[in-house]
Amino acid sequence: MSHDSQSLERAVARFVVNYSYADIDDATREAAKGLIKDQFAIQVGASVLPWSQKTLAFRNPRPGSATIVNHSAKGAAVDAAYVNASYGHGFEYDDFFGNAHPGCAVVPAAFAMGEELGASLEDTITALVVGYETYVRIGKWGSPAVLNQGWQPHAIWAGFGIAALAAKMYRLDEEQTFHALAIALSHASGPTEYASSGGSIKRVHAGIAVRNGIESAELARAGITGPRNFLTGNRGLYKMFCNKEVGAEAIADFAPGAPNLMPGLSYKAYCCCACTFSYIEAMQEVQDKADQIERIDARVQTMVNSIVGTRNANIYTPRNIEEVQYSLPAQMALSVLGKGNGFQAHHAILEGQIDLAEGSPVNDMLKKVNITISPELDEKYKYFVADVDVHYKDGTTQHLFQEQSTGSPMKPFTPAAHLKKLDDLTEQVIGLKQAHRLWAMIDELDLSRPVGDFTALLIPGA
């Protein structure tokens, strides 16, 4: 063993190699089932969107044995995972943990690789969970700093999670796994300028990260090595992307017996950036008084402002779907006017069926939203909250405060609410009968089933 045997980097590699299906407790297993269903549904629903179809055409998957969602031909695992991950991240509807999106990376990567390698369902689920856990445990120590620096956290953390997942699927040893994770540093990227001036490339961030993570493991398997201090070095992950130092204090997260974090995941009830959700739900409370509103003062955390607030150039003049989904004023206006903030509402915006032009009701309302950063919220809350004063034309003011939102651990989806989301996404593509067969199969999670039994139901007419 090398001199770095007690480093954080080495602890992560050991964690990945030693993790087994026995480490998946009941709560994590149930969370994994819900995550897989949520991701599969989003991949199906988003597969028909214009940028999804362009991504598929661009990637032009090589022949292989991995299923591509809503596509008749199978492809090589890295290509199928790239496409399916882009679908899974394709309309701001995917799960989140902290301020990143593990599911859209680990689910498509695990199932594509599982199909290609002929892996058991047990090995596939184990790799999926260890990829998720590596992603969020590394990400925990860099959030929200990475977001406040202007990087998309998902685009940074996902490469490490998928390198871990792929290393597990390839059964790499500790040294190879170490270097797979180290090589992933060289792939880390993803500025959040899309939130300010648009661009559908954000939809593909998940695909790019999945490809990079798989190739990091393949490079390590081929004998390529990476930097020893890829997390903690002076030019390592935390210093370069978060401008902070992280060291031994993080090792405990990767020690044997450390609790799984997956049960703390959040699902999205709305089709936009998660940091808008509490504000959306605050505005739902005053929909019956929308015509009486004079002004809305929204106090926000720095991390909220960084992604949907005043750092964005077009929050008051959104010109495309990306700018709408990353405009806090637009999302608050849609909510208070009862237009909706889910899949159907944003699809209607994409199709030009909801008017956001100058002089429209939505445009008039969003201009009433004033945003200020609150150091008090920064200090008190590490998760998304909403703090709003609504001022009415009669001179009265109503204070609204929302702590987390529907789909979060604090306000979990009911089974019926989650099923409605799944149905909305899948009904028009694979049909509810087929979708419900898939959900039942996932709930059963029979480890004797081939991985392909699940992915086959992602194709219409199966």
238: in domain: yes
The residue length of the chain stands at 462
423: in domain: no
Q: CA-to-CA distance for 7 and 122, rounded, in angstroms? A: 30
- Please state whether the peptide bond connecting residue 144 to the residue before it is cis, i.e. omega within 30 degrees of 0: yes
336: in domain: yes
Q: CA-to-CA distance for 175 and 162, rounded, in angstroms? A: 17
User: In this structure, are 260 and 217 located in the same domain?
Assistant: yes
Whole-number pLDDT of residue 108: 98
* Planar angle of CA 391, 270, 332, nearest 5 degrees: 15
Would you tell me the crossing angle of helices 205-221 and 103-117 to the nearest 10 degrees? 50
Q: Collapse the DSSP code of 131 into the 3-class scheme (helix H, G, I; strand E, B; otherwise coil) and give the result.
A: helix
Task: Taking the CA atoms of 321, 322, 328 and 329 in sequence, report the sign of the dihedral they define.
Answer: negative
User: In this structure, are 259 and 371 located in the same domain?
Assistant: no
User: In this structure, are 98 and 38 located in the same domain?
Assistant: yes
> Tokens 């949907």 appear where?
308
356: in domain: yes
User: In this structure, are 254 and 290 located in the same domain?
Assistant: no
* Planar angle of CA 83, 174, 127, nearest 5 degrees: 35
Report the CATH number at residue 30: 1.10.4100.10
User: In this structure, are 74 and 186 located in the same domain?
Assistant: yes
Q: CA-to-CA distance for 148 and 274, rounded, in angstroms? A: 15
User: In this structure, are 114 and 194 located in the same domain?
Assistant: yes
Q: CA-to-CA distance for 307 and 167, rounded, in angstroms? A: 32
Q: CA-to-CA distance for 275 and 280, rounded, in angstroms? A: 10
* Among 219, 239, 264, residue at a domain's last position: 264
* Among 355, 372, 403, residue at a domain's last position: 403
Q: CA-to-CA distance for 121 and 115, rounded, in angstroms? A: 10
CB neighbours of 362 closer than 8 A, spacing ≥ 6? 330, 333, 334, 337, 339, 354, 355, 356
User: In this structure, are 109 and 239 located in the same domain?
Assistant: yes
388: in domain: yes
User: In this structure, are 279 and 218 located in the same domain?
Assistant: no
365: in domain: yes
DSSP 93-121: -S-BBTTB--HHHHHHHHHHHHHHHT--H
* C-alpha R_g of the chain: 22
Q: CA-to-CA distance for 200 and 49, rounded, in angstroms? A: 11
**Is the separation of the CB atoms in 110 and 125 below 8 Å?**
yes
User: In this structure, are 303 and 388 located in the same domain?
Assistant: yes
Number of folded domains that form the chain: 2
Q: How far is CA 215 from CA 16, 37, 110, 230, 382, in A?
A: 17, 26, 14, 17, 33
> Tokens 């990143």 appear where?
100
* Among 222, 240, 264, residue at a domain's last position: 264
Containing domain of residue 233, as a range?
A: 8-264
Q: CA-to-CA distance for 104 and 90, rounded, in angstroms? A: 9
Q: CA-to-CA distance for 111 and 118, rounded, in angstroms? A: 10
User: In this structure, are 165 and 34 located in the same domain?
Assistant: yes
Neighbours of 446 (CB within 10 A): 8
Whole-number pLDDT of residue 3: 52
Q: Name the residue among 114, 102, 86, 119 with its Cα closest to residue 162.
A: 102
| pLDDT tens for the chain, residues 1 to 462 | 345 778 999 999 999 999 999 999 999 999 999 999 999 999 999 999 999 999 999 999 999 999 999 999 999 999 999 999 999 999 999 999 988 999 999 999 999 999 999 999 999 999 999 999 999 999 999 988 898 888 999 999 999 999 999 999 999 999 999 999 999 999 999 999 998 888 999 999 999 999 999 999 999 999 999 999 999 999 999 999 999 999 889 999 999 999 999 999 999 999 999 999 999 999 999 999 999 999 999 999 999 999 999 999 999 999 899 999 999 999 999 999 999 999 999 999 999 999 999 999 999 999 999 999 999 999 999 889 999 999 999 999 999 999 989 999 989 999 999 999 999 999 999 999 999 999 999 999 999 999 999 999 999 998
Query: What is the side-by-side strand order in the sheet with 397-403?
Result: 369-373, 293-300, 385-392, 397-403
Two tokens at 86? 């882009």
User: In this structure, are 17 and 139 located in the same domain?
Assistant: yes
450: in domain: no
Whole-number pLDDT of residue 98: 85
User: In this structure, are 300 and 226 located in the same domain?
Assistant: no
Whole-number pLDDT of residue 2: 42
200: in domain: yes
Q: CA-to-CA distance for 251 and 462, rounded, in angstroms? A: 46
> Tokens 């605050």 appear where?
282
Report the CATH number at residue 325: 3.30.1330.120
